[in-house]
Amino acid sequence: MSGLLELWGTLPAYAQATFWILVVTVALILSVAFTTLWERKVIGWMQLRKGPNRVGSIFGLLPGIFQPFADVIKLLLKEVVLPSKANKWLFRVAPAITLVPAFAAWAVMPLDPRLVIADIDAGLLYVLSLTSVGVYGIILAGWAANSKYAFLGAMRSAAQIVAYEIAMGFALVGVVMAAGTLNLGDIVRAQQGGVGDWFFIWLFPLFVVYLIAGVAETNRAPFDVAEGESEIVAGFHVEYSGIAFALFFLAEYANMILISALTAVFFLGGWLSPFEGILAADNPLAQPGFHWLFLKLFFFLTCFMWYRATFPRYRYDQIMRLGWKVLIPVTLVWIAVEALMVHYGIGPWSAN
């Protein structure tokens, strides 16, 4: 073991980074697989059903645990149908365009007090710019499929993502003002000192706006008019089948995990322990670590499923109204309030 650690130390930085990129990517793909299962289970329990419980079990426990693998194999073996008169190249490349940003954004995610793949200063801007690229995949999928329903779904989705990106960006302006940095690791460090110093308390309106905008950005219920199966069949991915459809599915869930992780980092202190400053400093529960980030992420991820099982879908004009006339004014007002708080030294950021 110590020999291995020594060998690890001698590896050049790019080799170490490559190793972590592989670890994060594989972990993400596996998480996506089990998130789909968890979603079906959670929604099943909420609706007094059992959820998938047929495929495999571990010694009689966790029935249905291998359902995601069965689904993946099924989708892999299915034919990918190209619609006639579809733009073949764009049709094939669109799922990849939605998928890549959802994974690439993890490069700047602070996973641990010491572990960030790329510790860059403009980390927050990097995340914002990458996630804004993801919409191309949806627009192109809708356009290239040469189908009315797909095109309608793509148009809805583009308008929605552009609208909610503004509210999301403004909410993050508040986070940047509070932390005084764009580096995600430093944003987490700025929240040190126990639950009371986490930004969600002082920036509560921005936290709520970010949560709502996050759901809208990932096109999840109740903001899933881009799919809207009762109106436009399945929206932008109507014409996709087999593994090409699975890639869209993968991207949607990867984006959900990403938004959950970002919410934890921006507003709930990322890898910081909630018991910091409450329990003794040498108490293992007060130590920061990846497990805290994971727990917070898991909570928000489960919230996504909760929303889906609870809320009816918004009407399109209601979505636009909420984004432009409610969320953006709320963020503007709270940024002004926060500016006053910073100026008069009220709040946790007064120390620095």
Minimum distance from residue 197 beta carbon to other proteins (Å): 23
Minimum distance from residue 78 beta carbon to other proteins (Å): 28
Q: Which is nearer to other proteins, 90 or 337 (CB)?
A: 90
Q: Which two tokens stand for residue 341?
A: 């708080």
Minimum distance from residue 303 beta carbon to other proteins (Å): 25
Q: Which is nearer to other proteins, 67 or 331 (CB)?
A: 331
Among 235, 267, 83, 244, CA closest to 161: 235
Q: Which is nearer to other proteins, 79 or 317 (CB)?
A: 317
Q: Which is nearer to other proteins, 32 or 130 (CB)?
A: 130
Minimum distance from residue 82 beta carbon to other proteins (Å): 18
Q: Which is nearer to other proteins, 118 or 285 (CB)?
A: 118
Minimum distance from residue 126 beta carbon to other proteins (Å): 6
Q: How far apart are CA 99 and CA 226, in angstroms?
A: 17
Minimum distance from residue 29 beta carbon to other proteins (Å): 25
Among 134, 296, 143, 94, CA closest to 207: 296
How many angstroms separate the first and last alpha carbons of the chain? 42
CA geometry: angle 97, 86, 249, nearest 5 deg: 40
Q: Which is nearer to other proteins, 283 or 318 (CB)?
A: 318
Q: Which two tokens stand for residue 331?
A: 């963020």
Q: Which is nearer to other proteins, 126 or 271 (CB)?
A: 126
- The binding site for other proteins (CB under 8 A) comprises 90, 120-122, 125-126, 128-130, 132-133, 135-136, 139-140, 143, 151, 155, 158-159, 161-162, 165, 182, 317-318, 321
Q: How far apart are CA 74 and CA 101, in angstroms?
A: 26
| Helix (H/G/I), strand (E/B), else coil: 276 | strand
Q: Which two tokens stand for residue 176?
A: 């940047």
Amino acid at 294: F
Minimum distance from residue 3 beta carbon to other proteins (Å): 31
Place of tokens 């927050």: 124
Residue 88 Cα to chain centre, angstroms: 29
**Helix segments in the chain, DSSP class H:** 2-10, 13-46, 67-77, 88-104, 123-144, 148-179, 184-189, 199-202, 204-217, 229-232, 242-267, 290-310, 316-321, 328-343
